[in-house]
Amino acid sequence: MNTQKQAGMGRSASEHDAPWRPEFGSGFRRLGEAAAWGFAICAPMLAMTGWLTYRGAMEMRAAQQAAYEATQAWERLAEAPAGPSLPLEVAVKGREVFVTVCAACHGPDGQGGLGKDLTRSDLVARFDDHAFREFIIAGRPNAAVPMPPRAGRPDLTDADLDAVVTYVRGLQDPRRMPELPPLVLTTAPVTEAEKAAAMAAAGGDAELAEYIASGAKLYATTCIACHGPGGVGIKGNGKPLVHNEFVASLDDDALLAFIKRGRDPSDPKNTTGVGMPAKGGNPALSEDDLLDIIAYVRTLQRPAGQAAASK
Ligand code: HEC
Ligand code: HEC
């Protein structure tokens, strides 16, 4: 029985008394033919499968290699010989843009805060200047913590964007950063229209109007990135400041103390899980600057008709 089963010919023992022998002329040949056909059919398929598996594996390896290299972009930049020194004037301009726009979220030295560390960002290292600029224009409005398009500053000019791109190149590779003079922030002079708006918001009080106009300018350089133009708020970045109960509940001293400190996500009083950096992330703001900003923010608390100074 055993042998029969092994031979697999399906004969029963009663048909032959003699011990079973393979019949070379018939069954085995057919088996051989079948095997040959089988092989002829299967071999190309096997070869194909093998080839596809091999190619798939090679493609996966190439993708893994590319992904790995993408994560090494900044390191490669740091290890490669330094590129040419960056043009001084553009770097100075770029620093000003960075400090007044990007620093609120990326930290004064670009090492990260609400936004990511840019000094070692592989993405930045991989960007050419054009792609970097396009990134800032588009922002990442859909990220868990969003980066607003144009960094929340629709007033940034093309020259501003080019300058900040250049400056960040220097943050990524300090060997290329020219020696920069001490930082001096230039705020554009208050326009007549802004003066008039501030005067109306101040109810004709010329001194208060000056504070409001200055505060509006400073707001537009530091706070606007997260709180939006006119304090309307930006979802995921900063709350609305118009008709804001918290603002209304505090006197100027308390509000000043709040802005100086900010509100870290670890603060039990934090309401959104997103942090408000100390001084809105701009350490260059003096106490007087902050009081001017407060004077401006007060104008955002008036009923709609009276908020003439809010942009
Ligand atoms: C209101 C906050 C905010 C401002 C202002 C801002 N960013 Fe961002 N930025 C972010 C956040 C948040 C992220 C991370 C988004 C994410 O999770 O993908 C980010 C990400 C980035 C990235 C991608 C980094 C990486 O490795 O993925 C770059 C580049 C960048 N910002 C550049 C800038 C520059 C340059 C400026 C100034 C012109 C700027 N940002 C201003 C919030 C901001
Ligand atoms: C990097 C983003 C960012 C910048 C820049 C920023 N803020 Fe904020 N601010 C926030 C966030 C986020 C909150 C909400 C914190 C929380 O969850 O409670 C907040 C909250 C506040 C509040 C309290 C509002 C409330 O209802 O609790 C005030 C007032 C305020 N900010 C004023 C300012 C002023 C004035 C400036 C400019 C000097 C400024 N912020 C700059 C992110 C920012």
Predicted confidence (pLDDT) per residue in 226-252, tens digit: 899 899 998 888 899 999 999 999 999
For residue 235, the ligand closest to its alpha carbon is 2
Q: What percent of the chain stands above pLDDT 70? A: 88
User: Of 305, 295, 287, which Cα lies nearest the Cα of 210?
Assistant: 295
Judged against a pLDDT cut of 60, whether residue 2 lies above it is answered with no
Residue nearest to atom 36 of ligand 1 (CA): 102
Average pLDDT score, the chain: 86
Residue nearest to atom 3 of ligand 2 (CA): 226
Residue nearest to atom 13 of ligand 1 (CA): 115
Residue nearest to atom 14 of ligand 1 (CA): 115
Q: Which residue has the tokens 């800032």?
A: 136
Between residues 187 and 297, which one has the greater pLDDT? 297
For residue 136, the ligand closest to its alpha carbon is 1
Integer Cα distance of 149 and 62 in angstroms: 33
Average pLDDT score over residue span 105-131? 93
User: Of 98, 88, 92, which Cα lies nearest the Cα of 124?
Assistant: 98
145 C-beta closer than 6 A to ligand 1: yes
What is the structure's pLDDT at 1? 45
What is the structure's pLDDT at 161? 97
CA of 118 to the centre of ligand 1 (A): 8
164 C-beta closer than 6 A to ligand 1: yes
For residue 281, the ligand closest to its alpha carbon is 2
pLDDT band at 176 (very low <50, low <70, confident <90, very high): very high
What is the structure's pLDDT at 69? 79
What is the structure's pLDDT at 146? 92
Between residues 282 and 204, which one has the greater pLDDT? 204
CB 227 within 8 A of CB 221: no
Integer Cα distance of 250 and 286 in angstroms: 20
Q: How far is CA 65 from CA 33, 62, 75, 128, 199, in A?
A: 47, 5, 15, 21, 62
Predicted confidence (pLDDT) per residue in 178-225, tens digit: 999 988 777 778 889 999 999 999 999 999 999 999 999 999 888 988
152 C-beta closer than 6 A to ligand 1: yes
CA of 214 to the centre of ligand 1 (A): 27
pLDDT band at 15 (very low <50, low <70, confident <90, very high): low
- Residues with C-beta less than 6 Å from any ligand 2 atom: 104-105, 114, 222-223, 225-227, 237-239, 241, 244, 246-247, 259, 263, 270-272, 274-277, 280-281, 293, 297
pLDDT band at 166 (very low <50, low <70, confident <90, very high): very high
Q: What are phi and psi of 254, to 5 degrees?
A: -70, -40
pLDDT band at 4 (very low <50, low <70, confident <90, very high): very low
